Chains A and B, each alone.
Chain A
């Protein structure tokens, strides 16, 4: 599959399983994702669908073993990250590919000052002196809306509010000017008002630094606010990919449709929320054929027998379903 090399990140047919005592868990079953510079791609799915494995494999932080990469490639700026030596991956992490997490309170070291946690990266990756690093850290605190605050630099994480902590995490992530930012449910642990602020911040930073962003979420409502393109993942497979607008207006896959119906919508008050019956299958025993067929309202015989191929429906809109024509 030859694709244009203008993509920042190009994941092709990535297939990862975890070998455990109870058997193999097939976490990713051949996924395709692309992210261009200055683009926000949202990866949407329920917990256990393979979102975190995807982000961790881009970071090179999936432990092998127990994980095994069965096939596929993970091209970052044209270089396959799979099989890169640990030392090379380490130099990329934080510098070229940065990541922010769901719960900033847990993901910051409780016993190191904020300043230390930011500047250590600058000293390590950009060979800055301690003094330069402090100046740079202040600059980035300003960028994320905390002002050039030495007070924040001298604080410990527990002395900051949840929103401030997430801003600090973001400052930390972008301080080495990475080309790709992975945001793993960055707003899930925050209040609704803070959620919007953080989403705006990420969107502005994307523009300002023309980063590619992989935005991971289980919430289509939030994704709608921020993503340029959206990929929906189910049981380790991308079931539908489309531009933000197309996905919401011209939904193809029954799973995506089910997800949309489960978003609480202010305009449709009075309607009953539709939960998707059943739950995401374990990665250890994924149903035969289409992974979604046991929960799918449209499922036919063939759905349990044949894995549906991903078909292109034009305008970069693709889906993998037997029932979509």
Chain B
């Protein structure tokens, strides 16, 4: 409950910052919209429509109410409601992010654990090679490479477009590999640390099998930091993956916000920032809950 309060507070603070930033930026949006040769009454009319003729406090309350209703007005370029534009793009970004994180977890955790349990073995070297390469290779380059190989040369996956899960496989691989590299290193380091703890000696002294020592006793503790970082990575990815969306020409949130910035589409930018902030806070909130289920020491009473 306390954490839920914190979630609400975070969103409130971010909304306030967005509100202030927009008001602080020099220039009257009504002037921008109306153009250079608009009459004074036209500008007044636009101000009234935007609500910028009212006192700041009223505007602020109106803004919070809008945020609460998830209503950010209409996009300046397309004229469609901002919320509609965002929700239209969100499923794709969500699928891409979830696929990416699932893929990276599937690679990172088993390989990281084996690397830690059998240090300096064949699998450990494979893991090290993978994480070095995964961190060094830019994801857009990997994406282009995958496209050339699997879409152009062998035609296994579609070259661009969206609409089916097949379209998302290559993007999520390109997105997932880099995250996997980070998670792999983290898993290995965390597992190595746990295996050096005293309770592992106890577990061995109790005559438990190596499997129980590793996977029941050490792994549970080793996964805690991994879950936190995976959650944060998921949060980032939910804000849209601009580069990967560009490479694969996917209509995700990243490109939506990118074009909004190009075209000074203020309502869309505002809505986007608040939305991303909300999603990120929500993921953090969920990770916190998950974390406290796994880690009895931080469970609040």
Residues of A bordering B, CB below 8 Å: 59, 61, 90-95, 98-99, 101, 103, 106-113, 120-121, 124-125, 156, 158, 169, 172
Pairwise interchain contact A120-B212, C-beta atoms closer than 8 A: yes
Pairwise interchain contact A61-B220, C-beta atoms closer than 8 A: no
Q: Which residue of A93, A103, A106, A156 is within 8 Å of B206 (Cβ)?
A: A93
User: Are A94 and B207 also in contact (CB < 8 A) when A109-B217, A111-B294 are?
Assistant: yes
Pairwise interchain contact B205-A93, C-beta atoms closer than 8 A: yes
User: What is the chain A residue whose CB lies nearest that of B221?
Assistant: A111
* Cα(A176)–Cα(B172), bound, Å: 51
A and B contact pairs by CB, cutoff 8 A, 9 listed: A90-B209, A93-B206, A98-B206, A109-B217, A110-B296, A111-B295, A120-B212, A121-B208, A156-B297
Is B155 an interface residue when CB atoms closer than 8 A count as contact?
Answer: no
Q: For the side of the interface on B, what is the size category?
A: 20 to 34
Is B202 an interface residue when CB atoms closer than 8 A count as contact?
Answer: yes
Pairwise interchain contact B221-A101, C-beta atoms closer than 8 A: no
One digit per residue, 1 when the CB lies within 8 angstroms of any chain A CB and 0 when it does not, for chain B 190-215 equals: 00000001110111111111001000
User: Are A110 and B205 also in contact (CB < 8 A) when A101-B198, A103-B198 are?
Assistant: no
Residues of B bordering A, CB below 8 Å: 197-199, 201-209, 212, 216-217, 220-221, 294-297
Pairwise interchain contact B206-A111, C-beta atoms closer than 8 A: no
Pairwise interchain contact B199-A108, C-beta atoms closer than 8 A: yes
User: What is the chain A residue whose CB lies nearest that of B294?
Assistant: A111
* Cα(A95)–Cα(B205), bound, Å: 10
Pairwise interchain contact A121-B220, C-beta atoms closer than 8 A: no
User: What is the chain B residue whose CB lies nearest that of A91?
Assistant: B207
Whole-angstrom distance from the CB of B211 to the nearest CB of chain A?
A: 11
Pairwise interchain contact B207-A109, C-beta atoms closer than 8 A: no
- Main SS at interface, chain B: helix
* Cα(A91)–Cα(B207), bound, Å: 6
* Cα(A103)–Cα(B197), bound, Å: 12
Q: Which residues of A contact B205 (CB under 8 A)?
A: 59, 61, 93-94, 98-99
Q: Which residues of A contact B209 (CB under 8 A)?
A: 90, 124
Pairwise interchain contact B220-A112, C-beta atoms closer than 8 A: yes
Q: Which residues of A contact B296 (CB under 8 A)?
A: 110-111, 113, 156, 158
Whole-angstrom distance from the CB of B249 to the nearest CB of chain A?
A: 45
Q: Which residues of A contact B216 (CB under 8 A)?
A: 112, 120
Pairwise interchain contact B199-A110, C-beta atoms closer than 8 A: yes
Whole-angstrom distance from the CB of B220 to the nearest CB of chain A?
A: 5
Whole-angstrom distance from the CB of A119 to the nearest CB of chain B?
A: 11
* Cα(A322)–Cα(B295), bound, Å: 58
Pairwise interchain contact B208-A109, C-beta atoms closer than 8 A: no
Q: Which residue of A109, A113, A156 is within 8 Å of B221 (Cβ)?
A: A109
Closest 6 CB pairs of A and B: A94-B207, A93-B207, A94-B206, A106-B198, A156-B296, A109-B199
User: What is the chain A residue whose CB lies nearest that of B224?
Assistant: A111
Determine which residue in A93, A107, A111 has the highest number of CB atoms from chain B within 10 A of its CB, and name it.
A111
Pairwise interchain contact A61-B207, C-beta atoms closer than 8 A: no
Pairwise interchain contact B206-A172, C-beta atoms closer than 8 A: yes
User: What is the chain A residue whose CB lies nearest that of B295?
Assistant: A111
Pairwise interchain contact B208-A120, C-beta atoms closer than 8 A: yes
Q: Which residues of B contact A107 (CB under 8 A)?
A: 198-199, 201-202
